[in-house]
Chain A
Amino acid sequence: MTDAGRNTLIVIRHTPYGSSLARAALDAAMAMAAFEQAIDILFLGDGVLHLMPDQDGAAIGVNNVSKLLASLPLYDIDSVYVDAASAAKYRLATSDTPIAGQFLDQAQIQQLLSRNDHLLGF
Chain B
Amino acid sequence: MIYSLLVLSSPVSGQGAQTAAAFAQAVLAAGHTIRRVFFFDAGCYAGADLAVFPQDETDRLGPWVELAEQQQVELVLCISSAIRRGQLDATEASRHEKPCASIHPAFTLSGLGELVDATAHSDRLVTFGG
Query: Is A18 on the interface with B (CB-CB < 8 A)?
Result: no
Query: Is B108 on the interface with A (CB-CB < 8 A)?
Result: no
Chain A, residues 9-28, CB within 8 Å of chain B (1/0): the string is 00000000000110010011
The answer to whether B80 touches A120 (Cβ under 8 A) is no
The answer to whether A35 touches B127 (Cβ under 8 A) is no
The answer to whether A120 touches B116 (Cβ under 8 A) is no
Chain B's closest residue to A27 (CB) is B112
The answer to whether B121 touches A28 (Cβ under 8 A) is no
Chain A's closest residue to B130 (CB) is A121
Q: What's the dominant secondary structure at chain A's contact region? A: mixed
The answer to whether A28 touches B127 (Cβ under 8 A) is no
Query: How many chain A residues touch B (Cβ–Cβ < 8 Å)?
Result: 18
Q: Using a CB–CB distance below 8 Å, which chain B residues touch chain A?
A: 6, 8, 40-42, 80-81, 111-113, 115-117, 119-122, 125, 127, 129
The 21 listed contacts between A and B (C-beta, < 8 Å) are: A5-B119, A6-B120, A8-B119, A20-B41, A21-B41, A21-B129, A24-B40, A24-B41, A24-B81, A27-B80, A28-B40, A28-B115, A31-B111, A31-B112, A32-B119, A35-B113, A37-B119, A118-B119, A118-B125, A119-B127, A122-B8
